[in-house]
Each structure stands twice: as C-alpha cells, then as structure tokens.
Amino acid sequence: MKNKRFQECNLIGKIFRYRWYLCVPFIFIYQRIKYKSELSAKAEWGIIISEMQFKMNWYYTSDEVKERLKEKFKDKLKEK
C-alpha cells in the first residue's frame, strides 16, 4: 500500500494521523526537563510540531508552495 500524503487522505485517515499531535505536550515537557534546552519554548514547540507533521506525511509540493506564495503576494499588493 502506498503511503498517501496527509492532504490526500479521507477524513478517517486524517483523524487517525492527528493522533501524533497528542504526543506533543508530553514530548515537550520531557525534553524541557531532561535536556534543559537553550532554545526558546516557542522554537522547541515548533520543532516538535514539525516532527509530528513529518510522521503524518504532511508536506506540500513545490507547485503548491509557489501557488500559495503567488496568492500571498497578490493579496499584499492589493492592500497597498
């Protein structure tokens, strides 16, 4: 079975993959206590979220990124 991207999964598949987010607070607390990281809490939280998204197979293709950037810049130019 091919492992689909998160965005291509149906609702049940997405809910099942969201289970990785349940671990985030526990991993965060564990790492803050054990390693006494010099990173800010916000940066460390973001890294943990990124790790969980990697496990969920959540990523964007280069075409999707380009499209999002174009939309963002169009909105910025319209505001001016």
Q: Is the pLDDT of residue 24 over 90?
A: yes
The dihedral through the CA atoms of 22, 57, 8, 46 has a sign that is positive
Q: Is residue 45 part of a domain?
A: yes
Q: Is residue 34 part of a domain?
A: yes
Q: Which residue has the higher pLDDT, 33 or 77?
A: 33
**Which residue range is the domain that position 18 belongs to?**
6-79
- Cα–Cα distance between 52 and 61 in angstroms, integer? 18
Residue 57 corresponds to which tokens in the numbers above? 């197979």
Tell me what the mean pLDDT of segment 30-50 comes to: 89
- Cα–Cα distance between 58 and 8 in angstroms, integer? 10
How many distinct structural domains can be found in the chain? Answer: 1
Confidence of residue 1 (pLDDT cuts 50, 70, 90): very low
- Cα–Cα distance between 65 and 45 in angstroms, integer? 23
Q: Is residue 59 part of a domain?
A: yes
Q: Is residue 1 part of a domain?
A: no
Q: Is residue 42 part of a domain?
A: yes
pLDDT at position 51, please? Answer: 93
CB atoms within 10 A of CB 11: 7
